[in-house]
Amino acid sequence: MKFIALIVLLSSFALHAGTVQVAVTLSPAGDFKAVSSKARGFIEKKGANYSAAGLTVEVGTMKTGLELRDKHFYERLGGATAKIVIVKAVGTGGKGQGQITVNKITKPFAFVFKETDGQVQAKFALKASDFGIKDVKYLGIGVEDKIIVSATMPVR
């Protein structure tokens, strides 16, 4: 019986996972993406209105493709166990507003979204400096202040 409960619990985590992609532009040239398929939470839908609260992704689940860059990425975001949280978000007609917490700093943000096949795909821009992330450089290559976040989360 415990085994069946464990299987159901693990299956529900897998079914309710979302994806997050953070696109970072480098200066003087280049870019990278940090990607996680382990975001947690749901988008609630009532009629034409969408809302969410407490959507999270653990920083350490995000991968950039290079171990050293992952390490630096995690350090700038409070460590591998730190969480990025959409505190709340509401939207209708493909546009919305919300609050996001990164590095223990909460800021408002605006986003665009669409629903496809029971999932909401959202996109928004943030300024790294708004969350205490400034002057990031390694071997003469810096990080631009504007980052683009794309997320896909399940609707219920």
Residue 7 belongs to some domain of the structure: no
Domain containing residue 74: CATH number: 2.40.128.110
Residue given tokens 């870019």 in the structure block: 31
Task: Provide the number of structural domains found in the chain.
Answer: 1
Q: How confident is the model at residue 17 (pLDDT cuts 50, 70, 90)?
A: confident
Residue 11 belongs to some domain of the structure: no
pLDDT in tens, 72-83: 999 999 999 999
CA-wise closest residue to 32 among 135, 148, 110, 111:
148
What is the predicted pLDDT for the residue at 71?
Answer: 95
pTM of the predicted structure, to 2 decimals:
0.87
What distance in Å separates the CA atoms of residue 111 and residue 92, rounded to the nearest whole number? 11
What is the predicted pLDDT for the residue at 41?
Answer: 95
Residue 12 belongs to some domain of the structure: no
CA-wise closest residue to 123 among 146, 145, 152, 103:
152
pLDDT in tens, 52-72: 999 999 999 999 999 999 999
What is the predicted pLDDT for the residue at 16?
Answer: 60
Average of per-residue pLDDT across 4-24? 63
Residue given tokens 């985590």 in the structure block: 13
Residue 4 belongs to some domain of the structure: no
